[in-house]
Structure 1
Amino acid sequence: MAGSGTVHMRESEQPVLSVRDLVVEFPVGRRQKVHAVSGLNLDLLAGETLGILGESGCGKSSAGRAFMQMPPPTSGSVLLHGSELTRLRSRELRRARAKMQMIMQDPVSSLNPRRRVRDLVAEGLSIWGHEGEDEDRLIREALHAVGLEPEVVWNRRPHELSGGQCQRVCIARALMLKPSVLICDEPVASLDVSVQAQILNLLERSKRSHLLSLVFIAHDVAVVKNISDRVMVLYLGKTCEVLPSAHLDTRAVHPYTRLLLASVPEMSEISEATESGSRQTQPATELPSPLDPPSGCRFRTRCPLATDRCAAEEPVLRGLGPGHFVACHHVDAAHVPTA
């Protein structure tokens, strides 16, 4: 378990989505490449919400798109219900991918500006030949389920809707094909705070009513903690820590996770109250470039605990307790607070 870096909670349960050694790199000329994701491993269980947390540029969105094969990863394995997506041909991939839908960060730009709401929500049904006399009924039910009045928005185009309404349309569209996995890429980042709460509540209701598994990608610590069952913390494409969301603000031990917690006012006092918290919340430098990530531990250039070992040897995920894994040379189970 520790050596492979694969993290999940219930050993006997078959994951809905399984990712192994995922690598995403983008060439940028002069023989350079952006190291967006480097060796990501995860299992997503049925009915679970896995939050992926990190700063902008840490590889969260690149990982989510790679799960969807948009574009396919540079290397690695993505299994959806046991089917290896990276090896499927185009039409087979499209059919398999219908069970894994994605909600984008900018709801307005993700909707065709020329199409009306009715056609946007019906798009999946039309593509897969499910058109029929029940189509309008299904669309109306989907719009009602996301809190929109069909009579009001039916013939409207995206520019005639608010950002929150557009995001509701995106959710309705994603749910039409009855997916088992929903990947949410910063779904509330562009929305007002009051609208964010409505969309998060909607996702929770949709998860329960449609028996969904969610991958929730965001940089907002509080949002990820509130909606997730587990949290995976990424830094420059590498997993730093994975733990139950209920323990995020009290038992997280990786210096980078503590730095993220310290950036949230209501969590900073808890973060600094631990024995080493005050030493772990002061970043030394700016985020390094993913074109040339640091050797060894990628967080070492900002970490107050860094030593020569951190530059020479890359840490692997080690188990610290039930569902809790960390990749750091300088923390172990003895550093985990008991409360």
Structure 2
Amino acid sequence: MAGTGTTHLRSGDRVLSVEDLVVEFPAGRGRRVHAVSGISFDLLDGETLGILGESGCGKSSAGRAVMQLPPPTAGSVRLNGAELTGLAPAALRERRKEMQMILQNPVAALNPRRKVADLVAEGPSVRGRRPERPRIEAALEAVGLDPATVWDRRPHELSGGQCQRVCIARALMLDPRVLILDEPVSSLDVSVQAQILNLLEDTGKRLGLSMVFIAHDLAVVKNVSDRIMVMYLGKVCEVIPSAALAGSALHPYTRLLLASVPEAPQGDAEPGAAELPSPLDPPSGCRFRTRCPLATDLCAKEEPKLRQTADGHHVACHHAR
């Protein structure tokens, strides 16, 4: 918490603590994709943190790096106080059961050859202790599936919403403390999205789970999160309580996202519609400056640091009002 990029981290007991996370990928000819560039965030017990941003901002790369899939290029990831980065494979495998990930495409996340009962039992089974049938049935019932109906079915015989429920049941079989949810409803029909979101919210409250909810849909993130971290091109723009988002957002990029929702007009800030810069060669200084109506020479020369503007509200902008 001493660094300028970590001033928004809270003291006290944190289930998850991520500091100065960097994710880069080789892109050939000596170039590198700067997917995530030194972000920090934390998660308290029972809290849901939303990570919001458009495609290409690095939010999914950050979620996977927290899971060590693959490990980050640099930075620290602590789960219940234990450092995950750099752990030997066997030790990492043991700790990873405390933190499970729900992926965007539930059908692709399930082995098409396996039956639902085997899929749900997969986590404990690979650790040498296949659960008894009553426990599998209880997990299916907890996510709104009838065990008698889906027990012997395979993924292609289920709807997308049913497959996502199977994925959630499978994750819960390991009794995790943290769920990383990477666009968990974006591939589902609108009519099914609300069902899955309600299920996740109810399950989180019932089991006392802490969750990181990654999405590009502002309305979804706002409804399920306690706090929201807005990302743009690998950087954190703003960290704000969800309840304050509509009326108190300060960063021009956050205001751009809000302006895309007709019900939430945000004053006179109208960020430009320029094309998203490439993560191969991000702009100097503030990475949003090429699309920002408030940009000045200072924005090109100096990267803004997160600074506190209100209790629980931090923004990285030289001209935030």
Distance 1:128 1:311 in 2: 52
What are structure 1's unaligned runs of at least 5 residues? 272-276
- Are the structure 2 counterparts of residues 310 and 168 from structure 1 closer, same or farther at C-alpha, using a change threshold of 3 Å? same
Distance 1:283 1:220 in 2: 19
Distance 2:3 2:270 in 1: 28
Tell me what 2:228 maps to.
231
Distance 2:158 2:273 in 1: 44
> Structure 1, residues 163-205: CA drift from partner, whole Å, max 9, x if none?
0000000000010000000000000000111111000000011
**Partner letter of residue 120 of structure 1?**
L
Deviation at 1:5, TM superposition (A): 2.4
Deviation at 1:27, TM superposition (A): 0.3
Distance 1:127 1:197 in 2: 32
| SS in structure 1 of the partner of residue 186 of structure 2 | coil
**Is the Cα contact below 8 Å between 2:16 and 2:79 reproduced in 1?**
yes
Deviation at 1:9, TM superposition (A): 7.1
**Partner letter of residue 14 of structure 2?**
P
**Is the Cα contact below 8 Å between 1:7 and 1:43 reproduced in 2?**
no
Distance 1:10 1:64 in 2: 20
| SS in structure 2 of the partner of residue 257 of structure 1 | helix
Tell me what 1:288 maps to.
277
Distance 1:284 1:101 in 2: 36
**Is the Cα contact below 8 Å between 2:22 and 2:36 reproduced in 1?**
yes
**Is the Cα contact below 8 Å between 1:7 and 1:41 reproduced in 2?**
no
Deviation at 1:86, TM superposition (A): 0.7
**Is the Cα contact below 8 Å between 2:253 and 2:271 reproduced in 1?**
no
Deviation at 1:131, TM superposition (A): 2.4
Distance 2:228 2:7 in 1: 11
1:194 aligns with 2:191: yes
**Is the Cα contact below 8 Å between 1:7 and 1:242 reproduced in 2?**
no
Deviation at 1:284, TM superposition (A): 4.4
1:6 aligns with 2:6: yes
Tell me what 1:23 maps to.
22
- Are the structure 2 counterparts of residues 9 and 23 from structure 1 closer, same or farther at C-alpha, using a change threshold of 3 Å? closer
> Structure 1, residues 37-87: CA drift from partner, whole Å, max 9, x if none?
000101110000000000000001000000000000001100001111012
1:32 aligns with 2:37: no
Deviation at 1:298, TM superposition (A): 0.1
Deviation at 1:8, TM superposition (A): 5.0
Distance 2:272 2:171 in 1: 39
| SS in structure 2 of the partner of residue 283 of structure 1 | coil
Tell me what 2:302 maps to.
313
Tell me what 1:123 maps to.
122
1:240 aligns with 2:237: yes
Which of 211, 216, 230 is equivalent to 2:213? 216
Distance 1:38 1:10 in 2: 21
Distance 1:212 1:9 in 2: 19
Deviation at 1:7, TM superposition (A): 5.4
Distance 1:283 1:166 in 2: 39
Deviation at 1:316, TM superposition (A): 0.3
Tell me what 1:250 maps to.
247
**Is the Cα contact below 8 Å between 1:78 and 1:86 reproduced in 2?**
yes
Distance 1:209 1:8 in 2: 28
**Partner letter of residue 149 of structure 2?**
V
Tell me what 2:289 maps to.
300
The percent of aligned pairs where both chains have the same amino acid is 70
Deviation at 1:154, TM superposition (A): 0.4
- Which deviates further from its counterpart, 171-180 or 121-130? 121-130
Cα RMSD (Å)? 1.2
1:78 aligns with 2:67: no
Deviation at 1:266, TM superposition (A): 1.5
Distance 1:224 1:261 in 2: 12
What are structure 2's unaligned runs of at least 5 residues? none
| SS in structure 1 of the partner of residue 153 of structure 2 | coil
Distance 2:301 2:27 in 1: 27
- Are the structure 2 counterparts of residues 8 and 210 from structure 1 closer, same or farther at C-alpha, using a change threshold of 3 Å? farther
> Structure 1, residues 114-141: CA drift from partner, whole Å, max 9, x if none?
0010000000110122225xx2111100
**Is the Cα contact below 8 Å between 1:221 and 1:260 reproduced in 2?**
yes
TM-score w.r.t. the length of structure 1 is: 0.93
Tell me what 1:43 maps to.
42
Deviation at 1:3, TM superposition (A): 4.7
TM-score w.r.t. the length of structure 2 is: 0.98
**Partner letter of residue 4 of structure 1?**
T
Question: Number of paired residues?
Answer: 321
> Structure 1, residues 190-244: CA drift from partner, whole Å, max 9, x if none?
0111111000000011101111000000000000000000000000000000000
